[in-house]
């Protein structure tokens, strides 16, 4: 059978989780699959062994190769199917070598969007602040906090970045009667109208939204984009939510505003670095809630990503349109 395929990953247990028996069987029906999981060390130890490999499957812990290593070790490689989200850390050398890269970012986006929406709905109800006040000052004070929250009818939510996850969040929020503001320079007016959102500046988004949710692409242009000047604009009792990437936040500025304004709440599923360094203020600030990057696929959810890549392989081999191919232009705006 043509199209020899392998698994590339520095942690074999990841492949076992993402590509279950059913998905492996689907892949094997389409190509000649070697089910051994090869690390970068394995590849470099015997490069000629992989000279006829045309397809590689991976996930988290994908080895990073240089262009020179790819040309030397994988001269026949045509495609990399990445059963996880962001490909920013490894994709460019492969693309530069003419290797197609496919990502299950759409599959990984689903649980991120689900968690984001859940936290937005809770935040609009005053859940996080009232819970904090309840523990500290009792029910009467917590009830006062709850009474000034507007709830989920007519409240304003700000979405920073309308990529795959941002759009999913927006669409999931449509079942609620909310006003959604969006900052995304790449979102066209026509697409904004189709999504039912209003484009605006970052300043207006922070000033008017009760919940601000970050979904910016993770690239050099967005590093440190969210700073004190924006955080200080936030409404009374507002919530900043980050399930995107930590590098977009000037964390010293976020610490500063959380200290100055105890009414604000930060919900951080990501930080930079992850986890925060020892003794970082995020650990002790009462109005900062940390979670260990749990928004992405977990448990059985990770199988969705492997299944997406198996279906993408089928489309590729049949010559059908593939849904999740990544190119260099896309990397400018993808998370």
Each domain of the chain, given as residue ranges in start order, spans 4-107+299-331, 109-290
Query: Which pLDDT band, with edges at 50, 70 and 90, does 85 fall under?
Result: confident
Task: Give the Cα separation of 312 and 212 in Å (integer).
Answer: 34
Summarize pLDDT for 161-197 with one digit per residue, the tens. Answer: 999 899 999 999 999 999 999 999 999 999 999 999 9
Topology match between the domains 4-107+299-331 and 109-290:
yes
What fold, for 4-107+299-331? Rossmann fold (3.40.50)
CATH superfamily of 109-290: NAD(P)-binding Rossmann-like Domain (3.40.50.720)
pLDDT of residue 305: 95
Supply the pLDDT for residue 86.
87
| pLDDT tens for each residue of 2-31 | 799 999 999 999 999 999 999 999 999 999
CA distance 211 to 331: 27
Q: Could you read off the pLDDT of 187-232 as tens digits, one per residue? A: 999 999 999 999 999 999 999 999 999 999 888 889 999 999 999 9
């Amino acid at each position: 059978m043509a199209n020899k395929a392998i698994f590339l990953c520095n942690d074999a247990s990841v492949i076992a989780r993402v590509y279950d028996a059913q998905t492996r069987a689907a892949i094997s029906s389409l190509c000649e699959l070697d089910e051994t999981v090869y690390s970068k060390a394995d590849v470099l130890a015997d490069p000629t062994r992989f000279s006829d490999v045309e397809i590689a499957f991976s996930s988290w812990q994908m080895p990073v190769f240089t262009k020179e290593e790819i040309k030397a070790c994988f001269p026949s490689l045509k495609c990399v199917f990445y059963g996880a989200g962001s490909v920013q850390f490894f994709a460019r050398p492969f693309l530069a070598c003419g290797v197609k890269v496919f990502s299950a970012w759409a599959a990984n986006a689903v649980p991120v969007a689900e968690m984001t929406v859940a936290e937005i709905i809770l935040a609009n109800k005053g859940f996080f602040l009232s819970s904090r006040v309840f523990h500290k000052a009792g029910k009467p004070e917590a009830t006062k906090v709850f009474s000034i929250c507007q709830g989920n009818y007519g409240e304003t939510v700000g979405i920073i970045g309308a990529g795959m996850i941002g759009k999913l969040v927006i669409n999931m929020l449509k079942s609620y009667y909310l006003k959604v503001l969006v900052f995304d320079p790449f979102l066209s007016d026509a697409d904004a109208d189709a999504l039912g959102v209003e484009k605006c500046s970052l300043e207006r988004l922070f000033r008017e939204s009760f919940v601000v949710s970050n979904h910016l692409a993770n690239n050099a242009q967005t590093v440190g984009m969210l700073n004190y000047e924006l955080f200080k604009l936030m409404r009374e009792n507002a919530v900043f939510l980050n399930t995107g990437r930590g590098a977009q936040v000037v964390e010293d500025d976020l610490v500063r505003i959380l200290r100055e304004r105890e009414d604000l709440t930060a919900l951080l599923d990501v930080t930079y670095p992850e986890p925060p360094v020892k003794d970082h203020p995020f650990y002790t600030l009462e109005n900062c809630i940390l979670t260990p990057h749990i928004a992405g696929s977990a448990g059985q959810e990770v199988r969705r990503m492997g299944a997406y890549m198996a279906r993408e392989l089928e489309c590729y081999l049949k010559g059908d349109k593939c849904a999740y191919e990544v190119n260099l232009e896309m990397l400018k705006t993808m998370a």
